[in-house]
Structure 1
Amino acid sequence: MTVTGKETLFRQSPEFIWKGVAIIGVYCLVHMLMRLILPQTLASDDAMEAFFSQQFHLVYSLRQPLLYSWLVYAAKNLLGDISLALVAVRYLLLFIMYTGLFLSASIMFTNRRVIVAVMVSYLLIRQYASLSHLVIFLAYYYAAQQVVDAEVLILEKNKLEHGGITEYLYSLLTFGSASLVFSSPLLIVVAILFPGLLFSHHFILPVDAERHLLAAQILIAMLVLVVTGFLLGIGNYKPRWVFPALILLPFYLFSVLEVHPEYLKRAKKYIIGVAIFSVITLVSRYVNVHVDSYEGKGFHRILPIRGLKSTCHPNGVRR
């Protein structure tokens, strides 16, 4: 796309991109405020996370990567409150993730309706973004966990004591129903700000394959980070922070159907990469369940433990 005579990477106008970033910012800010206003949304994870931060001196296993802990430490010193710091860092990361996906989609697609569909699919948020899972990739987790549970129950206890399949299905449906609740408002806002965007006779416009491959390289780099975190067991790495970006995959595959067959052939490398990643994800999940995580006895020396625990009671509640 050309803007003011210069070739740009994005296939959308600057006005569209700025509008999208602004919507994402407001959306994350509202969720952040709701999380701070409603105390019950803090009880389940933020207060507990603050409590765990006090356990490093007891050689408790690392629950977050080192960089995340230092970000929380810096936010705590800036804001003066551990719970506020935890929420601020989390939503800053969510904002960066959403914006990164929006920009990647703006590189890949000419059709704004596809970009909107990607973003709405990405904002599958449960409990005000406390768990930023993408429903389709929960299937990976539940499938792996189900295999592990079944093996443990059958081999060690020689019997099934609970209906595992029913529980997993119920959890998956719960995530799906909650996702509709929290993604619907964004869809309404987008429909108002971009009238006519959701109703068009032409769903897919021609897509430049070179831009697809560029975005594919970015996504593959993200996949490598996820796999690395899994295999190295870095700080009880949480892949849900990166999984949602994979929502680009189905839209990518769908759009290339209208591209020259030669481009489809070149895109096979990307498809194969995602398939390999999926297998590694399942295997890594299985391994992580059966192999004790590294306790990090030396790591606690470079973590900001004293600063993190200074505003907490033993029960993790703010002073």
Structure 2
Amino acid sequence: MSGRVRADTNYSRLWFAVAPMMDWTDRHCRFFHRQLTRRALLYTEMVVADAVIHGDRGRVLGFDACEHPVAVQLGGSDAAKLAEAARVAADFGYDEINLNVGCPSDRVQSGTFGACLMKEPETVARGVAAMKRAVEVPVTVKCRLGVDDQDPEVALDRLADMAFEAGADALWVHARKAWLEGLSPRENRDIPPLDYDRVYRLKQRLSGRFIGVNGGIGSIEDALTHLKKADGAMIGRAAYHMPAILAAADAEVYRDAGPSVDLGDVIRTMALYAGRHIAAGGRLSHVTRHMTGLFHGLPGARRYRQILSTEATRPNAGPEVLVKAFAAVEDAVSQQAA
């Protein structure tokens, strides 16, 4: 299902976002995260433009209407293909089109997109301009500080200037360089040092542009610190491994006085969602693999993870496994309180 009624992704205000993460932020993960935060901007994992144009669009782009505001991240370097993929994604109802200029994996290097494009800001600008002509929703870019031996002071400024001149509505910066030679994609997430000050300097220079920061943000408190110097804070692995931290985002970041999140309600909603997914031919583990860290640090969390890691992966597993796992947490909390 796609959501045709768009949310207002207005880049004249602050944003808190959950980062696009390959193999992680699929539609099931985003539906789950949306139960924890009403306001955060959610991103798809990177989708290659060719897959959007030539693939099964429902499978590649489908999402639940509750996910709004939700952005699709495209991978590619051909301006015409990016424009066509952006048009398709906008028709599906996505609130934003984001261009990946940061992924360092071998797959994107062979396709000459992702972090490779830090070396080709003219290509990025052509892609942004083509997408802006094709769609009415915001077009944004997510990049690194630079790649390999590039000087981040020069490379980031040049990329940012050309992207904004081409019409980009926002720039999200992962505050690390990427080493395309010598480091694996996993190592590129940790080994290159973080340099938040470089992102802050970019914001100071481009005071009228939206500059968001990503990389190593581990909590809502961290995000709030960054939001004092940047326009947006994007959290990645911490949100995936400890998703309950998202439950504080609406109140702490947006000062939203809405109802607080009840994790029991989240489990019940996800059990119903998993039931629908299974009825449509899916498996319980497609959903629950994103949920194992929900009770991180709480009594019963270990037993909860064990149940999901073993019973939820069985071929005929149903939503009752998720209910059983939550019951282990409830029992542990009751025993501790007794």
Smaller-chain TM-score range?
under 0.3
TM-score, scaled relative to structure 2: 0.25
**Which structure ranks higher in relative contact order (CA pairs < 8 Å, sequence separation ≥ 6)?**
1
Which one has the bigger helix percentage?
1
Quick check: which has more Rg, 1 or 2? 1
